[in-house]
């Protein structure tokens, strides 16, 4: 199941208390203070894990508490530090403080480790509190509490290329041809119900393509499935808009999806886009030509393909995706 949002509680460990103790032995009845410091509480650390692709594991487990530090003890013994707690999240997870809605971090790089809640420092024992004024303090300091947060985790996929379009346009067929991803493909709308990622190897580079569930009119306002997933294309470098040209009205369908993209996020109005006219094997020439002219007038890159039988410019399309990814990487 694809889960891309989760609320959780995290608490770092409390610091252990410092000890109040005095050295005693058969030979020394009144030794000096020897209470050790408390140990530091464990931190809560978020870590990206490339094997994860959803926030599913947070559906049932919501509380994550790191270990407390141990209390100090006599003979100047410090308490044990609490163990850090590592929470693995998929690459692309955004962590926000739920109460203030402030962004804490964006786990947008592989291999990231971020301390989100710091463990409390241990309290100082009476051995370390002695001074010229008080050589035998009968008190020690308490450990500090660990930080506590209510967090909202939100996954926004970090694919390079996003495949968007109406249901049944052939998006999943395309990703299955250009990558090793094997999504379900079928001749009915909404076959894909959650984003699928595929890695494309092209020339010297590999890049990630996301197949997003089909969008329909009203998607930006929650109609159909797609709108929940529109956020996953916000961080793509280029969109590949797949249009079924075997249908009567490709221009209208193309504009419906564009409107949905724009009303979801106005930045899509100026977003790099490649237009793909798919299913040319069963489309009529006139329809293809009309659509081609329309797209050319918009100065967008345009490719005609048949994802199922290899007709047309699939190789050229791949090359164009590659060019966009390289160009955008260069700009970043
Ligand atoms: N004739 C023909 N059929 C195609 C072509 N590309 C895809 N199809 C068929 O169109 C149907 C839909 O393809 P999908 O790849 O599942 O479409 P989708 O865009 O992923 O659909 P959703 O997941 O519902 O959004 C399947 O039956 C495919 O076999 C093509 O180039 N020519
Ligand atoms: Mg699909």
Question: Is 156 strand, coil or helix?
Answer: coil
Q: Are 140 and 202 in a shared domain?
A: no
Q: Model's pTM, two decimal places?
A: 0.80
Q: What is the pLDDT of residues 299-325, one digit of tens each?
A: 999 999 999 987 888 999 999 999 999
Q: What is the pLDDT of residues 192-234, one digit of tens each?
A: 888 888 999 888 888 999 999 888 887 777 777 666 788 888 8
Give the burial class of 37: count Cβ atoms within 10 A of its Cβ; 0-12 exposed, 13-18 middle, 19 or more buried.
buried
Tell which residue, 310, 302, 258, 308, has the closest CA to residue 277: 302
Q: Are 36 and 184 in a shared domain?
A: no
> To which residue do tokens 């490709």 refer?
250
Q: Where are the beta strands (DSSP E) in the chain?
A: 5-11, 44-48, 63-65, 85-89, 93-97, 103-107, 113-117, 148-155, 161-165, 196-202, 205-211, 238-244, 273-278, 301-304
Q: Are 172 and 290 in a shared domain?
A: yes
Q: Are 219 and 102 in a shared domain?
A: no
Let me know: does 54 contact 155? Beta carbons within 8 Å.
Answer: yes
Q: Are 320 and 185 in a shared domain?
A: yes
> To which residue do tokens 């999806």 refer?
257
**What per-residue confidence (pLDDT) applies to 47?**
97
| Predicted confidence band of residue 332 (pLDDT cuts 50, 70, 90) | low
Q: What is the pLDDT of residues 38-76, one digit of tens each?
A: 999 999 999 999 888 889 999 999 999 999 999 999 999
Q: Are 83 and 143 in a shared domain?
A: yes
Length of the chain, please?
Answer: 332
* Cα(308) to centroid(ligand 2), Å: 14
Q: Are 34 and 3 in a shared domain?
A: yes
Structural domain harbouring 24:
1-156
Q: Are 104 and 251 in a shared domain?
A: no
Closest residue by Cα to atom 13, ligand 1, is 170
Chosen domain end from 156, 189, 218: 156
From 168, 190, 278, 312, the mutation candidate for ligand 1 (largest count of ligand atoms within 8 A of CB) is: 168
> To which residue do tokens 């044990």 refer?
80
Q: Are 122 and 195 in a shared domain?
A: no
Let me know: does 120 contact 40? Beta carbons within 8 Å.
Answer: yes
Average pLDDT taken over every residue of the chain? 92
| Predicted confidence band of residue 331 (pLDDT cuts 50, 70, 90) | low
Measured in degrees and rounded to the nearest 5, phi and psi for residue 140 equal: -140, 170
Q: Are 45 and 165 in a shared domain?
A: no
Verify whether ligand 1 is closer than 6 Å to residue 167 (CB atom): yes
Which ligand does the CA of 191 lie closest to? 1
Verify whether ligand 1 is closer than 6 Å to residue 189 (CB atom): yes
Give the burial class of 189: count Cβ atoms within 10 A of its Cβ; 0-12 exposed, 13-18 middle, 19 or more buried.
middle
- Burial profile 148-185: b = 16 or more Cβ within 10 angstroms, e = fewer: ebebbbbbbbbbbbbbbbbbbbbbbbbbbbbbebebeb
Query: Residue range 83-102: average pLDDT?
Result: 95
Strand partners, 38: none
d(CA 123, CA 213) in angstroms, rounded, equals: 54
| CATH code of 317's domain | 3.40.50.300
**What per-residue confidence (pLDDT) applies to 73?**
96
d(CA 159, CA 140) in angstroms, rounded, equals: 53
* Cα(182) to centroid(ligand 1), Å: 13
Q: Are 66 and 199 in a shared domain?
A: no
Let me know: does 273 contact 241? Beta carbons within 8 Å.
Answer: yes
Cα angle value 183/186/192 (rounded, 5°): 45
pLDDT of residue 37 exceeding 90: yes
Q: Are 267 and 130 in a shared domain?
A: no
d(CA 322, CA 200) in angstroms, rounded, equals: 9
pLDDT of residue 135 exceeding 80: yes
* Cα(182) to centroid(ligand 2), Å: 10
**What per-residue confidence (pLDDT) applies to 232?**
87
Chosen domain end from 156, 174, 192: 156
> Residues of the chain with pLDDT > 70: what percent?
98
Q: What is the pLDDT of residues 155-192, one digit of tens each?
A: 988 889 999 999 999 999 999 999 998 989 989 888 88
Chosen domain end from 106, 121, 156: 156
Q: What is the pLDDT of residues 231-263, one digit of tens each?
A: 888 889 999 999 999 999 999 999 999 999 999
| CATH code of 42's domain | 2.70.210.12
What is the total count of domains within the chain?
A: 2
Segment holding 208, helix H or strand E: strand 205-211
pLDDT of residue 288 exceeding 70: yes
d(CA 75, CA 78) in angstroms, rounded, equals: 9
Return the ligand 1 atom nearest residue 173 CA: 15
How distant, in Å, are the alpha carbons of 19, 92, 209, 217 from that of 8? 34, 17, 29, 34
């Amino acid at each position: 199941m694809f889960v891309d949002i989760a609320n959780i509680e995290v608490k770092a460990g409390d610091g252990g208390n410092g000890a109040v103790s005095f050295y005693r032995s058969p030979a020394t009845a009144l030794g000096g203070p020897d209470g050790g410091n408390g140990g530091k509480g464990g931190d809560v650390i978020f870590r990206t894990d490339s094997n994860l692709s959803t926030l599913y594991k947070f559906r049932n487990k919501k509380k994550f508490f790191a270990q407390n530090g141990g209390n100090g003890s006599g003979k100047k013994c410090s308490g044990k530090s609490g163990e850090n707690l590592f929470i693995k999240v998929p690459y692309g997870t955004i962590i926000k403080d739920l109460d203030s809605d402030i962004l804490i971090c964006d786990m947008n790089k592989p291999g990231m480790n971020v301390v989100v809640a710091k463990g409390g420092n241990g309290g100082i024992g009476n051995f370390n509190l002695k001074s010229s004024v008080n050589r035998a303090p009968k008190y020690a300091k308490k450990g500090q509490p660990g930080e506590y947060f209510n967090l909202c985790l939100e996954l926004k996929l970090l694919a390079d290329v996003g495949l968007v379009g109406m249901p049944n346009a052939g998006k999943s067929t395309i990703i299955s041809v250009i990558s090793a991803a094997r999504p379900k493909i079928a001749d009915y709308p909404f076959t894909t119900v959650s984003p699928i990622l595929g890695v494309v190897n092209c020339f010297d580079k590999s890049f990630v393509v996301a197949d997003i569930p089909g969008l329909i009119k009203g998607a930006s306002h929650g109609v159909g499935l797609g709108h929940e997933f529109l956020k996953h294309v916000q961080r793509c470098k280029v969109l590949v808009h797949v249009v079924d040209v075997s249908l009567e009205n490709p221009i209208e369908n193309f504009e419906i999806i564009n409107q949905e993209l724009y009303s979801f996020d106005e930045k899509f109005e100026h977003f790099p886009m490649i237009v793909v006219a798919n299913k040319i094997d069963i489309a009529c020439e006139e329809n293809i030509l009309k659509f081609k002219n329309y797209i050319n007038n918009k100065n967008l890159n345009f490719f005609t393909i048949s994802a199922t039988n290899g007709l047309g410019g699939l190789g050229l399309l791949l090359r164009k995706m590659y060019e966009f990814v390289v160009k955008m990487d260069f700009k970043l």
